[in-house]
Structures are given as C-alpha cells and as structure tokens.
C-alpha cells in the first residue's frame, strides 16, 4: 500500500511540474509576442507603434502630446476581449481610435475624436468586444480607406 501511495505522489508531482512548465512557457511566449510588436499594418499602410501594455501606459496613452508623426500611433494591449472605453481628457490632438478583435479584424472606428476641453469628457467604446485598440492621428482612417472588418497585421 505504501508503494502505491509513493507512486501516486510521484505521478502527481510530475503532473504538477508539467502544468507549471506549460503555464510558464505560454506566459513567456504571450509576453514576447506582445513586446515584439513594433508595427500595425493595414492593407494600404503601416504604423510604427508604441505599446501600452501596463496600467500606467494605458492610463496615460497619448495625453499631453502636441504632435504625433503621421506614420505613428499607440497600440493598447489587453489580456482578454472586452468593451474598452476611451476618452480624450488631456489629449491635445484629434485621434482616430480603432478597436481590433482577437482575430485581428477592425470591429469599430471612432473617427477624429476631438480633444476634450471640459471636466466631464465623453467616452467612446465599441459595440463589439476588442482585445486591442489603436490610436492614430485624426482622419487617418478615412485617408487610408479603413473600414470595419478590415484585417490587421502586427509586425
């Protein structure tokens, strides 16, 4: 009986070790994928992006910037698909806000969101769940002919 219990403990230990190693491997690969993104590309244009993957970066976003290069933007990365709200408080330039789902398809575009100059700022959200949100200069979506349903590639 003691031999059976010892064998079960060994099997259980090995199983737990395999689960832990699998989890660490997944977490590391997921993190590496997100940290290696430097461009977000649509059919007709690519944008060099800064990554907002921490709470602090997500809260700050593109606030207090007087200028954004035409080929630049900020990509917000989220752990899971959900409805994410954005606003233009302390943002100084108009932005297009583009929600992207986990399959890397555009699900909603708020074109030319203007800077907020009042205390209670309007919030913008997609009517569909998204895992990523891209901010680029205002009217850029129209300029490149971007539409809901368009595919996105991260490089």
pLDDT band at 30 (very low <50, low <70, confident <90, very high): very low
pLDDT band at 12 (very low <50, low <70, confident <90, very high): very low
Domain membership of residue 74 as a residue range: 38-154
Any idea what the CATH number is for the domain that residue 89 is in? 2.60.120.1140
Q: 57 and 4: one domain?
A: no
**Residues 43-89 pLDDT 10s:** 999 999 999 999 999 999 999 999 999 999 999 999 999 999 999 99
Q: 10 and 81: one domain?
A: no
Q: 18 and 83: one domain?
A: no
Give the total number of structural domains in the chain. 2
Greater model confidence, 30 or 40? 40
How would DSSP label each residue in the chain?
Answer: -HHHHHHHHHHHHHHHHHHHHHHHHHHHHHHHHHHT--EEE-SS-EEEEEEE-SHHHHHHTTTT-S---TTEEEEEEEEEEE---EE-BT--S-EEEEEE-TTSBEEEEEEEEPPB-SSS--EE--SS-EEEEEEEETTHHHHHT--TT-B-EE-
Residue 29: the pLDDT is 39
Full-model pTM: 0.78
Q: 147 and 132: one domain?
A: yes
Residue 22: the pLDDT is 40
pLDDT at 10 over 60: no
Greater model confidence, 14 or 117? 117
Q: 32 and 107: one domain?
A: no
Q: 61 and 25: one domain?
A: no
**Residues 97-122 pLDDT 10s:** 999 999 999 999 999 999 999 999 99
Q: 54 and 86: one domain?
A: yes
Q: 7 and 55: one domain?
A: no
Q: 31 and 86: one domain?
A: no
pLDDT at 138 over 90: yes
């Amino acid at each position: 009986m003691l031999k059976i219990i010892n064998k079960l403990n060994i099997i259980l230990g090995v199983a737990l070790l395999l689960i832990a190693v699998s989890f660490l491997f997944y977490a590391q690969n997921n993190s590496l994928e997100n940290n290696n993104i430097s461009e977000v590309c649509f059919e007709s244009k690519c944008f060099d992006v800064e990554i907002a993957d921490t709470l602090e970066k997500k809260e700050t976003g593109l606030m207090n910037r007087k200028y954004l290069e035409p080929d630049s933007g900020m990509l917000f990365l989220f752990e899971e698909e959900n409805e994410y709200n954005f606003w233009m408080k302390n943002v100084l330039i108009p932005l297009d806000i583009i929600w992207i789902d986990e399959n890397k398809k555009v699900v909603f575009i708020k074109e030319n969101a203007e800077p907020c100059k009042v205390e209670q700022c309007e919030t913008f959200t997609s009517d569909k769940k998204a895992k990523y949100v891209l901010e680029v200069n205002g009217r850029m979506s129209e300029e490149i002919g971007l539409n809901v349903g368009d595919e996105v590639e991260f490089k």
